[in-house]
Structure 1
Amino acid sequence: MVLGPGGSGISAIAAAGALGVADAQRPARRGGPLSLVGDDRTLLITVDPRSTLPERLGVFRVAGEPVAATGELDLLHLDPLGLLERAWTDFTAALHAVGIGRHLLPVVGTIADIDAGELTGLPGAQEFLLLRAIRDAATSGRWRAVVVDLSGLGDPYAVLRSPTVLTAALDRLWPRHARLAQASEKPALASVVAAVESIDRDCHDLRELLGDPTGTAVHLVVPGGERGRTTVTDHVALTEVMGLPLRSVLVNEGPGGLDTAPATTAARTLLGADADTAVHLAAVHALDTEPAKLSQLRRLSVQLASPNGHARGAADPVLEHLDGDGLQARYRLSWRQTLPRPEELALGRSGDDLLVTVGGFRQPVTLPSVLRRCRVTDADWDGERLIVQFRPDPAVWPQR
Structure 2
Amino acid sequence: MLGPGGSGISAVAVGGALGLADAHRPQRRGGPLAAVDAARTLLVTVDPRSTLPQRLGVFRVAGEPVAVTGELDLLHLDPLQVLEQAWTDFTAALDAAGVGRKLLPVVGTIAGVDAGELTGLPGAQEFLLLRAVRDAATSGRWQSVVVDLSGVGDPYALLRSPTVLAAAIDRLWPRNVRLAQASEKPALAQVAAAVESIDRDCRDLRELLADPTGAAVHLVVPAGGRGQSTLPDHLALAEVMGLPLRSILVNAGPGALDTDAVAAQARTLLGGDADRAVRVGVVAAHDVEPGKLPQLRRLDVRLSAPDGHARGAAAPVVEHVGGGGLEARYRLRWRQTLPRPEDLVLGRSGDDLLVTVSGFRQPVPLPSVLRRCQVTGADFDGDELMVHFQPDPALWPQR
TM-score, normalised to structure 2, is 0.97
Q: Which residue of 2 aligns with 1:314?
A: 313
Using a 3 Å threshold, how does the CA distance of structure 1 residues 60 and 180 change in structure 2: closer, same or farther?
same
Q: CA deviation at 1:264?
A: 0.8
Q: Aligned partners of 1:199, 1:388: CA distance in 2, in Å?
A: 33
Q: Which residue of 1 aligns with 2:199?
A: 200
Q: Aligned partners of 1:28, 1:131: CA distance in 2, in Å?
A: 34
Q: Is the 8 A contact 2:236 2:357 kept in 1?
A: yes
Q: Which residue of 1 aligns with 2:225?
A: 226
Q: Aligned partners of 1:216, 1:374: CA distance in 2, in Å?
A: 32
Q: Aligned-pair RMSD on alpha carbons?
A: 1.4
Q: Which residue of 2 aligns with 1:376?
A: 375
Q: Which residue of 1 aligns with 2:25?
A: 26
Q: Aligned partners of 1:226, 1:283: CA distance in 2, in Å?
A: 15
What pairs with 1:311-390 in structure 2 (closer than 5 Å)? 311-390=310-389
Q: Which residue of 1 aligns with 2:67?
A: 68
Q: The residue matched to 1:111 in structure 2 has which SS?
A: helix
Matched letter for residue 207 of structure 2: E
Using a 3 Å threshold, how does the CA distance of structure 1 residues 33 and 58 change in structure 2: closer, same or farther?
farther
Q: The residue matched to 1:372 in structure 2 has which SS?
A: helix
Q: Aligned partners of 1:226, 1:79: CA distance in 2, in Å?
A: 33
Q: Is the 8 A contact 1:34 1:71 kept in 2?
A: no
Q: Which residue of 2 aligns with 1:213?
A: 212
Q: The residue matched to 2:376 in structure 1 has which SS?
A: strand
Q: Is the 8 A contact 2:255 2:287 kept in 1?
A: no
Using a 3 Å threshold, how does the CA distance of structure 1 residues 161 and 235 change in structure 2: closer, same or farther?
same
Q: Deviations over 1:43-87 (max 9, x none)?
A: 111111011111111111111111110011011111111111011
Q: Which residue of 2 aligns with 1:398?
A: 397
Q: The residue matched to 2:122 in structure 1 has which SS?
A: coil
Q: CA deviation at 1:29?
A: 6.6
What pairs with 1:1-400 in structure 2 (closer than 5 Å)? 2-28=1-27, 32=32, 38-100=37-99, 102-400=101-399
Q: Is the 8 A contact 2:220 2:249 kept in 1?
A: yes
Q: The residue matched to 2:119 in structure 1 has which SS?
A: coil
Q: Deviations over 1:257-280 (max 9, x none)?
A: 322122111111100011111111
Q: Aligned partners of 2:379, 2:99: CA distance in 1, in Å?
A: 51
Q: The residue matched to 1:71 in structure 2 has which SS?
A: coil
Q: Aligned partners of 1:256, 1:34: CA distance in 2, in Å?
A: 41
Q: Aligned partners of 2:24, 2:90: CA distance in 1, in Å?
A: 40
> Can you give the 5+ residue segments of structure 1 that lack an aligned partner in the other structure?
none
Q: Aligned partners of 1:28, 1:361: CA distance in 2, in Å?
A: 47
Q: Is the 8 A contact 2:3 2:220 kept in 1?
A: yes
Q: Aligned partners of 1:34, 1:324: CA distance in 2, in Å?
A: 64
Q: Aligned partners of 2:126, 2:99: CA distance in 1, in Å?
A: 27
Q: CA deviation at 1:321?
A: 0.8
Q: Deviations over 1:258-315 (max 9, x none)?
A: 2212211111110001111111111111222211111000111111111111211101
Q: The residue matched to 1:391 in structure 2 has which SS?
A: strand
Q: The residue matched to 1:4 in structure 2 has which SS?
A: coil
Q: CA deviation at 1:399?
A: 1.8
Q: CA deviation at 1:143?
A: 0.8
Q: Is the 8 A contact 1:228 1:262 kept in 2?
A: no
> Can you give the 5+ residue segments of structure 2 that lack an aligned partner in the other structure?
none
Q: The residue matched to 2:198 in structure 1 has which SS?
A: helix
Q: CA deviation at 1:98?
A: 2.3
Q: Aligned partners of 1:100, 1:122: CA distance in 2, in Å?
A: 26
Q: Is the 8 A contact 2:94 2:194 kept in 1?
A: no
Matched letter for residue 271 of structure 2: G
Matched letter for residue 295 of structure 2: Q
- Fraction of identical pairs, as percent: 77
- Total equivalences in the alignment: 398
Q: Is the 8 A contact 2:8 2:253 kept in 1?
A: yes
Q: Aligned partners of 2:188, 2:70: CA distance in 1, in Å?
A: 49
Q: Is the 8 A contact 2:27 2:34 kept in 1?
A: no
Q: Is the 8 A contact 2:223 2:258 kept in 1?
A: yes
Q: CA deviation at 1:32?
A: 4.4
